[in-house]
């Protein structure tokens, strides 16, 4: 039952109605970041075709940087990380031109 902020940066906001910041009140079954990613794919992304922009083989697509409270999720246990109240999870795409 955590309240978390999810940000879609680097152009990734296109898959979530062009809204960069989403404040979510998560249902009880969403515990880890892995759950959160599934939750995003099933509820936040309205167009099923856009899921492929965010996920690949069930995981976050290579080239998208995931940060948990501004720390690379590689250092936080990736999908295993257990969400707490007021956590900020951000997804930043690096895939388009610079």
Partner 1 sequence: MSYTAPSDPVNKKPVKVAQLCDLCHCRKAVLKRPKNLQKLCKECFFDVFETEIHNTIVDNKLFHRGEKIAVGASGGKDSTVLAHMMKFLNDKYDYGIQIYLLSIDEGIVGYRDDSLATVQRNQKQYGLPLEIFSFKDLYGWTMDEIVSVAGIRNSCTYCGVLRRQSLDRGAQKLGIQHVVTGHNADDMAETVLMNILRGDVARLEKSTSILTSSKGSPIKRSKPFKYCYQKEIVLYAHYRKLDYFSTECTYAPEAFRGTARELMKNLEVVRPSCIIDIIHSGENLFLKPAAGGRRQGRRRGPGTTSANTTSTTTSTGPVDGSRCERCNYLSRNRICKACMLLEDLDKNRAAVTIETDTSHDGAAKTLRSLERLAF
Give residues in contact with partner 1 (CB under 8 A): 5, 7, 9-11, 14, 20-21, 62-63, 65, 67, 69-72, 74-75, 84, 86-88, 90, 92-98
CB-wise, 2 or 35, nearer to partner 1? Answer: 2
- Nearest distance from residue 66's CB to partner 1, in Å? 11
CB-wise, 42 or 77, nearer to partner 1? Answer: 77
Tokens of 98: 């610079």
CB-wise, 1 or 42, nearer to partner 1? Answer: 1
DSSP letter for each residue of 5-67:
EEEEETTGGGGGTT-SEEEEE--TT--BHHHHHHHIIIII--SGGGHHHHEETTEEPTTEEEE
């Amino acid at each position: 039952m955590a309240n978390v902020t999810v940000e879609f940066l680097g152009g990734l906001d296109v898959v979530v109605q062009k809204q960069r910041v989403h404040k979510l009140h998560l249902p009880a079954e969403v515990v880890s970041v892995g759950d959160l990613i599934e939750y995003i794919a099933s509820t936040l992304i309205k167009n099923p075709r856009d899921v492929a922009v965010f996920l690949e083989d069930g995981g976050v697509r290579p080239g998208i940087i995931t940060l948990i409270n501004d720390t690379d999720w590689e250092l936080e246990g990736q999908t295993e990380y257990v969400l707490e109240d007021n956590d900020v999870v951000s997804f930043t795409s690096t895939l388009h031109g610079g």
